[in-house]
Structure 1
Amino acid sequence: MAREPLLERLRRRVLLADGGTGTFIQGRAWDVERDFLGHENCSEILNRTRPDFVAGLHRAYLEAGADCIETNTFGANHVVLGEFGLAGETRALNREAAAIARAEADRLSTPDWPRYVLGSMGPGTRLPSLGQIDYDALEASYREQALGLVEGGVDALLLETHQDLLTVKAAINGARAARVELGREAVPILVSVTVEATGTLLVGSDIGAALVSIAAMGVDGIGLNCATGPAEMAEHVRFLCARWPGPVSVMPNAGLPILVEGETRYPLTPEELALWQGRFVEEDGVNLIGGCCGTTPEHIARLRAMLDARSDPAPRPRRVEPEPAVASLYTAVPLRQENAVFAIGERCNANGSKRFRELLAAEDWDGLVGIAREQEREGSHALDVCVAYVGRDEARDMAELVSRLRAQVTVPLVLDSTDPAVLETALKLLGGKSVINSINFEDGEDRPAEILRLARRFGAAVIALTIDEAGMAKSVEDKLRIAERLHAFAVDRHGLPEEDLFFDPLTFTICTGMEDDREHAVHTLEAIERLAERFPRCQILLGLSNVSFGLRPAARHVLNSVFLHHAQQRGMTAAIIHVSKIAPLHRIPEALREAAEDLIFNRWRDGADPLGRFIALFEEAQEEEQAQRAAPASVEERLRRRIVDGDRRGLEDDLEEALQRHDPVQIINEILLDGMREVGELFGAGRMQLPFVLQSAETMKAAVRYLEPRMPRVEGAQKGTLVLATVKGDVHDIGKNLVDIILTNNGYKVVNLGIKKPIQEIIEAAERHRADAVGMSGLLVKSTVIMKENLEEMRRRGLDIPVLLGGAALTRRYVEEDCRRAYTRPDRVHYAKDAFAGLRLMERICAERRAEG
């Protein structure tokens, strides 16, 4: 009987998978020698010794109402079976297991109710990101497992309970290889990861990193299973459904396990599981539900009843606009930064950094990692890594360095090499979504084709330079012509997603004095603008410092900074730069800025050469003297200026002087916060890059730390408790920490959770500390959306605790109109304009609570 393909049915109906296989097996008494052939805990051997039991297991879940059953092959890959001496049986055991499940599914299928078999492929026992197994061995192991499953007749391959994104890549590629070998490329690949109670996968990946990395591999479905119950999964389910357009699966445990009289129990009843899964279906738009550890046929029967009671069996439509991003093993980074370019640190490059080259020659790996970590601290969103050095083994050096960087920096890597073999070596070490730098047509199309195949295989973005067989494009027309060819080649022919293609239209030095070089910057800016219009979904990148080659460092820093601003205004989205050597426009003296712009745009004033005029401005001055403006006379203005400039030198002396005239609260509220307000305005206007915002924040923190011991502290009983956190996806904490200090010094208990906190953790802390209110902070515009989502989740949980919202991107109108509508008690959502407004709100909240008794 022909079945409707699984993916088509998932689009038309919410489907139900089975429950816990392990739970079912562990609930029986076994003769280890007879049933397991002495291989205790090797459940997969039951497919051969007790096919009757395995068939009964599948039948129980099918009779309970499951649309899909999973094969008893969770650990049946070559590596795991090898631990039992059964590696040689891998393909056969998987084929036998799939055949058992296939027979039971077919027996209960009808034309109106087809049943499906999912080939279970678990995470194994060794994690490649921790160096416990190499990539090639893992991919080969999963290939062999997938061969048996597909031969046995599965409808899809389900990679489940995965905890390491590099394992996921190996399993996907192994499964793909098996499909091709058997001519069954249409068999879908579904991936389900396990988020621990800590909020991350076992190796530390957050759900954003998992989604970006797995989606880049071109799978058919993504989901969650195991580790926790549905309550702990809720936030992650919502995240996936809001950002992944394909099918989403959710298979939680029957709650968090508890120990009862020495035995593990799962507390969630079938009715409670059905309530949660009903919410995931109706509110989030989940396509496939089921159960994991602790769930039984009774749980599945209740889920069947819940689904059958729906008036419309179809999944709830989801409007999803995926956000272009790359990812390290740990976290995702959007390619479109808010009021900033995607900054790629340039100093982990043997071609461009003398210090890096010297450390590489000395094989000082710790020193090389130190350079990477410096760039991360400076605010780089990703790191360009190039170890090509004459006389050295590039592939070996890349492997040595990347294996260290993947564990010691949290930002994604840009793999910079012209050798596909070197790129492949690096990609086999990285679980996240990397960027490959780069492809071009200088030697034809063979090498870029090979690199693009690697990008598709490992889920990487690609930088494409406007170079062809005739050389590097310098005119606007040539840059656009080659970009058109690159787009057709990478996107149309090789299937690279548009958002993963970075155009580098190239910039060349304008500092030679030769007439042919004077218009390079103008041509590049015009090309950027036209590329942004022609390919709005693609990224546009420059190796920025090329424009200033030949100048002294001080002049290069100014010219690079001004050129960056204009390139960003024209549509550039990314740049390879030295972040700490870029200055925001407001810090560059007007005369220098104008001279730099004259040089960039080749503007001659009164017949004077703009290059000569620009160079002359630097001949007598040191970089620092040119960059700094005259210090203001008043200490109040000096302090405000320090905050805006992120300048901590001499800060304590100025604070001491200010304390002679003002109390600490006045200094914070009337002087320092005024500086931070200007920082926010500059950031919002695009005149200050994010790294400089962070420098200002660090200066503000240092000032507040110095003033805190001098602030009056209210003694006596605590007035109330506030749980405070920066919301998920946001790392900015200056405002939050200031609220902490102000409230603590006024007699309140503040539970400061830190940055990037998911709502589950905030709720748990509020309940644990019996908080009077919750405070959520964030600087970015996207953080305001997350705040609203958090309020919606709190409403779903039936919470009505007062909530304070604060952050530079928030407005009173947004809080009082949009956010309030999302909450259980709209009157309990408050806009905290600053820390002192937060203090007044807490005073009012706690007074109202006392009045209520």
Structure 2
Amino acid sequence: MLFAAGPIGSTILSLKPTPEDYGGLDGCNEYLTVSKPELLEGIQRSFYEAGCDAVDSATFGANRVVFAEYDIEDRVREINRLAAEQVGRVRDEFSTPEWPRYSLGTIGPGTKLPSLGHIDYDELVESYREQTRGLIEGGIDVLKVETCQDLLQTKVALGAIEDVFGEMDARLPVIASVTIETTGTMLLGSDIACALTTLEALDTVDIIGINCATGPEQMVEHVRYLAQNSRRPVFIGPNAGLPEIRDGETCYPLTPEAFARYQRIFVEEMGASIAAGCCGTTPEHFEAAIAAVGRPRPKARPETIEAACSSLYTSVPFEQDTSFLVVGERMNATGSRAFRELLLEEDTEGVVALARDQAAEGAHVLDLMVDYVGREGAPDVERFARELRTQATLPLVFDSTEVPVIETALKLYGGKAVVNSINLEDGERKITRLLPLIKRFGAAAVALVIDEEGQARDVDWKLRVAHRIHEIAVDRYGMEPGDLLFDMLTFPLGGGQEDLRGDAMATLEAIRRVKTELPGTHTILGVSNVSFGLKPAARRVLNSVFLAEAVEAGLDAAIVNARQIRPLSRIPEAQLEAARDLIYDRRREDYDPLIHFLSLFEDVEAAPKRAEEQAALPVDERLKQRIIDGDRRGL
């Protein structure tokens, strides 16, 4: 394992540079590379002398966004190059073949967070590209995207690094390190599970870590989770305790002995691979830690990770312990008249309320589909995704047939989204445009079994298409098998056509086979299609029964209206058996299950909708419920 020193900024402040030291740019630590490089060299040299294997460059804020505050934004690339060269000279004083030392090119979060709308993706990514080019040109050894407060900002920086690697034909190790506040989450509310789900999906990341904000004591449980679940080496860089103000100055109270004790726990008990230090740590802290920990071999990392998606706030595994993954279907311009009206009115508050309704009804993930005839999809998805990414807690599925719509949505989203969908309808033309985007933004994907011949109907056809998609997505583009959710397609049973009677059985058998033949992948189904065209009461029963059969066959996720799914125990026995007869086409000479099933609902009306039920309540009860739900519509 290695020791890495990162308290460049706090050490600079402790030395109290003068305005002259800053070359007239008071407070711009990064400009010291130009105006007072010997000050930086002295700091970095002290940490190498203490025994650190790696030390940061003075480039934490060396990006266009921060430099614009000092009117030096045109010098981003130059100053990063100079800073990398400067720390490299100090590194070379200590590095030997027997004990190589390293320089870490630090890339901070800047001062504008994209998830809050402070800056857009394209502007921010170019800023990070410039910084990365300069660091690589200056000979930096490792790129460290650190002190991350917004997962979208983190993804933008990592995307910029990936771009520059391709542009310069280079590849350096990359650390991505988030900051967990005393609240237990990142600044915008992401917990460590959410951060890990998001970062594990990005190939650019080699090492995942936590740094800054708190001392090691407050990090313990977050480090434990990260070390137990990350497949990648773990980097831990606490501050020297929580900062205190003494005599008007910021102080960090953690002693070297206490720092060493916690680093020993992180390395020996939890399996951290890089013991680092952030604000307030000193050469004495590292000397104590190195003496206490030594340099053991890092513990083995887990070989697998739980397949999941994430919002800005939480991670949701695809495999639920006691249920299937419920994908809420009500934000669909094609399938929901209520959502379509909100779309046409550009009612973002109404859409947020609809998202919250679905969460309250039991959805785990929300499908967002804005494609509608006569409208541009990209502006619509931008409008609603901007609101939903911070105001809805559940992860989003971006559902569109248009590549620009998917790209627009992914550029806005800090979590790990699901793209709905990829298929082979036009051969490989569209799938090979979508997969690079899916990989770049670390998304999962719904894979429809559709090929050039159409929607796969029989079992062998479905499996043939699934194998083709798997080969392209996993073998060629490097997707994780667990991030593929195969939709084996189901078709309406209510029409009575002979060629449709066996479709439900084919779907169920295809679900069983794909789980066996393509291990590690997942399955998903738009369940309500099976009942298309039937009366609402009949649809609820058939959807519920078919869903139960699909889950029994191995279905992992279903795109449904959770409120419309009924437990089998609450369905009358006659309706339950009739639905199963229809699904399995149990026709006899004197019995047609479709005719029988329809007859059971001739005089049955659907239950009143929730909105109608609430409208019947007294005003004070309605207001109370609106406050609980956070619903401001129609107040």
Shorter chain as denominator, the TM-score bin is: over 0.9
- Give, in whole Å, the separation in 1 of the partners of 2:605 and 2:533: 17
Cα shift at 1:320: 5.1
Deviations 1:536-564 (A, max 9, x none): 31110111011111110000100000000
- The code of the aligned residue for 2:394 comes to V
Report whether the alignment pairs 1:44 with 2:30: yes
| Match in the other structure for 1:21 | 8
- Give, in whole Å, the separation in 2 of the partners of 1:490 and 1:319: 23
* Among 530, 533, 539, the residue aligned to 1:550: 533
Cα shift at 1:211: 0.7
- Give, in whole Å, the separation in 2 of the partners of 1:28 and 1:549: 72
For the Cα contact (< 8 Å) 2:233–2:301, is it kept in 1?
A: no
| Match in the other structure for 1:247 | 233
- The code of the aligned residue for 1:486 comes to I
- Give, in whole Å, the separation in 2 of the partners of 1:580 and 1:531: 29
Residue 158 of structure 1 aligns to a residue whose secondary structure is strand
For the Cα contact (< 8 Å) 1:548–1:560, is it kept in 2?
A: yes
- Give, in whole Å, the separation in 2 of the partners of 1:228 and 1:581: 46
- Give, in whole Å, the separation in 2 of the partners of 1:383 and 1:443: 27
| Match in the other structure for 1:189 | 174
For the Cα contact (< 8 Å) 1:436–1:462, is it kept in 2?
A: yes
- Give, in whole Å, the separation in 1 of the partners of 2:327 and 2:533: 22
- The code of the aligned residue for 1:501 comes to L
Report whether the alignment pairs 1:297 with 2:283: yes
Deviations 1:266-307 (A, max 9, x none): 111001000000000000100001211111111111122123
| Match in the other structure for 2:487 | 504
* Among 394, 416, 431, the residue aligned to 1:448: 431
- Give, in whole Å, the separation in 1 of the partners of 2:328 and 2:466: 24
| Match in the other structure for 2:343 | 360
- Give, in whole Å, the separation in 1 of the partners of 2:263 and 2:30: 29
| Match in the other structure for 1:31 | 18
Report whether the alignment pairs 1:205 with 2:156: no
For the Cα contact (< 8 Å) 1:242–1:320, is it kept in 2?
A: no
Cα shift at 1:261: 2.3
- Give, in whole Å, the separation in 1 of the partners of 2:430 and 2:606: 43
For the Cα contact (< 8 Å) 2:467–2:518, is it kept in 1?
A: no
| Match in the other structure for 1:675 | none
- The code of the aligned residue for 2:584 comes to F
1:55-204 matches, cutoff 5 A? 55-184=41-170, 186-204=171-189
1:702-851 matches, cutoff 5 A? none
- Give, in whole Å, the separation in 1 of the partners of 2:297 and 2:348: 55
For the Cα contact (< 8 Å) 1:466–1:504, is it kept in 2?
A: yes
For the Cα contact (< 8 Å) 2:230–2:302, is it kept in 1?
A: no
* Among 206, 216, 227, the residue aligned to 2:201: 216
Q: 1:575 to 1:297 in 2, by over 3 A?
A: same
* Among 406, 415, 418, the residue aligned to 2:401: 418
- Give, in whole Å, the separation in 1 of the partners of 2:6 and 2:81: 21
Cα shift at 1:620: 2.0
Residue 428 of structure 1 aligns to a residue whose secondary structure is helix
- The code of the aligned residue for 2:304 comes to E
Report whether the alignment pairs 1:316 with 2:335: no
Residue 575 of structure 2 aligns to a residue whose secondary structure is helix
| Match in the other structure for 2:378 | 395
- Give, in whole Å, the separation in 1 of the partners of 2:524 and 2:471: 18
Cα shift at 1:514: 1.1
| Match in the other structure for 1:765 | none
Report whether the alignment pairs 1:483 with 2:466: yes
For the Cα contact (< 8 Å) 1:19–1:296, is it kept in 2?
A: no
Cα shift at 1:394: 1.0
State which drifts further: 260-269 or 380-389.
Answer: 260-269
For the Cα contact (< 8 Å) 2:230–2:301, is it kept in 1?
A: no
| Match in the other structure for 1:635 | none
State which drifts further: 465-474 or 386-395.
Answer: 386-395
Deviations 1:502-526 (A, max 9, x none): 1111000111111111000000001
For the Cα contact (< 8 Å) 1:65–1:304, is it kept in 2?
A: yes
Cα shift at 1:607: 2.4
For the Cα contact (< 8 Å) 1:372–1:409, is it kept in 2?
A: yes
Report whether the alignment pairs 1:537 with 2:523: no
Residue 486 of structure 2 aligns to a residue whose secondary structure is strand
Q: Larger radius of gyration, structure 1 or 2? A: 1
- The code of the aligned residue for 1:24 comes to T
| Match in the other structure for 1:286 | 272
For the Cα contact (< 8 Å) 2:236–2:275, is it kept in 1?
A: yes
Residue 433 of structure 1 aligns to a residue whose secondary structure is coil
For the Cα contact (< 8 Å) 1:224–1:251, is it kept in 2?
A: yes
| Match in the other structure for 1:721 | none
Cα shift at 1:604: 2.1
Residue 46 of structure 1 aligns to a residue whose secondary structure is helix
- How large is the Cα RMSD of the aligned pairs? 1.5
TM-score by length of 1: 0.70
Residue 323 of structure 1 aligns to a residue whose secondary structure is coil
1:558-637 matches, cutoff 5 A? 558-605=541-588, 607-624=590-607
Cα shift at 1:29: 3.1
| Match in the other structure for 1:805 | none
Q: How many residues align?
A: 610
| Match in the other structure for 2:629 | none
For the Cα contact (< 8 Å) 1:150–1:179, is it kept in 2?
A: no
Cα shift at 1:49: 1.1
Cα shift at 1:126: 0.5
- Give, in whole Å, the separation in 2 of the partners of 1:564 and 1:221: 40
Deviations 1:102-158 (A, max 9, x none): 111112111110001110000100000000011111111011000010111111100
* Among 307, 312, 319, the residue aligned to 2:293: 307
- The code of the aligned residue for 2:289 comes to L
* Among 305, 315, 338, the residue aligned to 1:332: 315
For the Cα contact (< 8 Å) 1:243–1:320, is it kept in 2?
A: no
- Give, in whole Å, the separation in 2 of the partners of 1:391 and 1:420: 17
For the Cα contact (< 8 Å) 2:449–2:487, is it kept in 1?
A: yes
For the Cα contact (< 8 Å) 1:388–1:394, is it kept in 2?
A: yes
Cα shift at 1:606: 5.6
For the Cα contact (< 8 Å) 2:91–2:103, is it kept in 1?
A: yes
- The code of the aligned residue for 1:29 comes to K
For the Cα contact (< 8 Å) 1:335–1:342, is it kept in 2?
A: yes
- The code of the aligned residue for 1:210 comes to A
For the Cα contact (< 8 Å) 1:344–1:576, is it kept in 2?
A: yes
Cα shift at 1:622: 2.7
- The code of the aligned residue for 2:14 comes to G
For the Cα contact (< 8 Å) 1:257–1:264, is it kept in 2?
A: yes
| Match in the other structure for 2:363 | 380
- Give, in whole Å, the separation in 1 of the partners of 2:154 and 2:389: 16
For the Cα contact (< 8 Å) 2:536–2:605, is it kept in 1?
A: no
Cα shift at 1:605: 4.7
Deviations 1:761-807 (A, max 9, x none): xxxxxxxxxxxxxxxxxxxxxxxxxxxxxxxxxxxxxxxxxxxxxxx
Cα shift at 1:420: 1.0
- Give, in whole Å, the separation in 1 of the partners of 2:386 and 2:142: 33
- The code of the aligned residue for 1:564 comes to L
- Give, in whole Å, the separation in 2 of the partners of 1:72 and 1:412: 36
* Among 239, 248, 255, the residue aligned to 1:262: 248
TM-score by length of 2: 0.94
- Give, in whole Å, the separation in 2 of the partners of 1:135 and 1:231: 35
Residue 290 of structure 1 aligns to a residue whose secondary structure is strand
- Give, in whole Å, the separation in 2 of the partners of 1:302 and 1:23: 19
Q: Which has the higher contact order (CA 8 A, sep 6+)?
A: 2
